[in-house]
Structure 1
Amino acid sequence: MNSGWVTGGVVFAGVLMMLNGLLDVFRGIMAIAKDDVFVSTPNYVFRFNLTGWGWIHLIIGLLLAATGYFVVTGSAWARYVGIGLASVSAAECFLSLPYYPLWALIVITLDVFVIWALCVYRPETE
């Protein structure tokens, strides 16, 4: 049986996924349209073309927002996909750490919460 914290946590995780996905879409659009908005880090080990990085953010953001919607509606498959996408999102933010370090750390922390909330929730069977 799930406690109120766990049930509320999975709904909150779905909402966080939708919000994170939407913000990732905007971040991707910014990087695609005008990549001089981001700080350049020339000696970073994981250096990427910011326009290509923008497309990665855009695609992951769209998938994350859509999956978050299905998590909120209670789809079982969405929890499993959400765990995977939140993991990818955390890795993506780790790789973009030098461009926006504070934002990346916040998103990584929220992704860890999302993973936890989706892992501990067990749907009640009748």
Structure 2
Amino acid sequence: MSQHTARGTSGAGPETGWAAGGTLFAGVLMMVTGVISIFEGIAGIVEDEVYAQVGSYVFSWDLTAWGWVHLVLGILVAVTGWGILKNMAWSRYLGVTLASLNIIVQFLFLPYQPVWAIFSMAISVFIIWALVTTESRTTA
């Protein structure tokens, strides 16, 4: 008999509690990183010289273009984080997609903000893990 069958269908095992808490934390992290990305985008749009490029890099865009990318992605990530906190059905799938996209964007943005880009990629990996390891939370 598997552990899932032995516990019944309630899904109230210790790993479910951890994963559900991880999902809640993922929603909060998405909102925070979304707001930070919005500020990052505004800074890039308003003032090009706010970011200094660290060495040469194959992928280089105009910083105003990067500002728009971060602004739009930040808005989408923050709204999706809010949807996760509200347990909206669409938010879980969109959250995984946007966290994956954020990893790619931050990798391409490495020469401008290397420490934040690596940290943001790590946060996105956690968000993906938290969103795919739990089933949808239900309210009793």
- TM normalised by structure 1 equals 0.95
Mapped to 1, the partners of 2:80 and 2:128 lie a distance apart of 13
The whole-number CA distance in structure 2 between the counterparts of 1:41 and 1:75 is 40
From the CA coordinates, give the structure whose radius of gyration is larger: 2
Aligned length: 126
- TM-score relative to the length of structure 2: 0.85
Correspondence for 1:116? 129
Q: Does 1:89 align with 2:83?
A: no
User: 1:1-126 to 2 correspondence within 5 Å?
Assistant: 1=11, 3-41=16-54, 43-123=56-136
Q: What runs of 5+ residues in structure 1 fail to find an aligned partner?
A: none
**1:3 counterpart SS class:** helix
Identity of aligned residues (%): 44
Higher relative contact order, structure no. (Cα contacts within 8 Å, ≥ 6 residues apart): 1
How far has the Cα of 1:44 moved from its partner? Answer: 1.0
Q: CA RMSD in A?
A: 1.5
Distance 1:124 1:59 in 2: 28
> Runs of 4 or more off by more than 3 Å in structure 1?
none
2:87 and 2:137 in contact (8 A); partners too: no
Pair 124,18 (structure 1): closer, same or farther in 2 beyond 3 Å: closer
